Structure 1
């Protein structure tokens, strides 16, 4: 299996240097673009298309700070894709319950200014959890880092709900 950090000649660390990532991505895309291989046989074309698709997937994963962190932890042997992501932080779970109640209240009021403020607050909360995640990775506290990944997923779901409500606003 190809290591995405190595593919883009990046150090295996977080956060990912997006400028370097983008530069290497563009170089690889030029090198492996299927149009450059029109004269090769079908078997080689398939391999080039697969390589190009893998480059695109790797770029998409490493460009996003959250999926890059998930990938980083997967390199350390953690199965981050499992849905059995149980959070043992009662305060965080209560916070999630409270956030969802507040979101329901805001939606029922149709108060889009309050919704925008709430969105900003949740995005900032996610950033704080991400910063904690980076600190845990730096300290090689893998289980706590994994727990922060799960927390970010919870916050992402709240953000997605907010954005769906915002989309409804613009559809009116």
Structure 2
């Protein structure tokens, strides 16, 4: 049973997160290992395994990048262990520009950091919209490239957060 089947939802990129959470809580209550306290050891073990699968499925589907990778995985595209690099010269140039921009930011310059966050959010939103369209059109290669780009953007966001915390 795949993650979407577990929650009885359509295998689509656009997921109603509030509905997903409601379904998760219902399933969590039904599958919780405490409900099997008086069961056989085998049934207890199965309950723990099902709860683990449920938690993994919920966290995967709740995260847009995880969900996109999972959908591609269902289509036979395994991005979990890949070593493929992005071959988009325009995006590689943008990466270098972002790297330079982040390196030039000063920890105390909150205005510049906020502007970088805003720019990053805007570019990330465009990439997410492209990803959603690519998944809907089953353009798996381009969707995989968009996921690679979004991973970079998320990493950059964490770096901006660290700079802000400093």
Same-fold status (TM-score > 0.5)? yes
Task: State the shift of 1:82 in Å.
Answer: 2.7
Matched, 1:116 2:114: yes
Task: State the shift of 1:10 in Å.
Answer: 0.3
On the 8 A contact 1:129/1:148 being kept in 2, the answer is yes
**Cα deviations across residues 102-126 of structure 1 (Å, max 9, x unaligned)?**
011013x631221122112112211
Tell me, in whole angstroms, the C-alpha distance in 1 between the residues paired with 2:98 and 2:136. Answer: 29
- The corresponding residue for 1:98 is 97
Higher deviation after alignment, 119-128 or 26-35? 119-128
Structure 2 gaps of 5+ residues are none
Q: How does 1:74-93 map to 2 (within 5 A)?
A: 74-93=73-92
Tell me, in whole angstroms, the C-alpha distance in 2 between the residues paired with 1:49 and 1:80. Answer: 27
* Aligned positions, number: 166
Q: TM-score, normalised by structure 1?
A: 0.91
Structure 1 gaps of 5+ residues are none
Tell me, in whole angstroms, the C-alpha distance in 2 between the residues paired with 1:85 and 1:9. Answer: 33
Task: State the shift of 1:58 in Å.
Answer: 0.4
Q: TM-score, normalised by structure 2?
A: 0.94
Task: State the shift of 1:99 in Å.
Answer: 0.5
On the 8 A contact 2:108/2:164 being kept in 1, the answer is no
SS of the aligned residue for 1:10 comes to: coil
- The corresponding residue for 2:6 is 7
Task: State the shift of 1:64 in Å.
Answer: 1.1
TM-align CA RMSD: 1.3
Task: State the shift of 1:33 in Å.
Answer: 0.9
Higher relative contact order (CA 8 A, sep 6+): 2
On the 8 A contact 1:33/1:52 being kept in 2, the answer is yes
- The corresponding residue for 2:132 is 134
Tell me, in whole angstroms, the C-alpha distance in 1 between the residues paired with 2:121 and 2:54. Answer: 29
**Cα deviations across residues 32-67 of structure 1 (Å, max 9, x unaligned)?**
111111111222111101111110110000011111
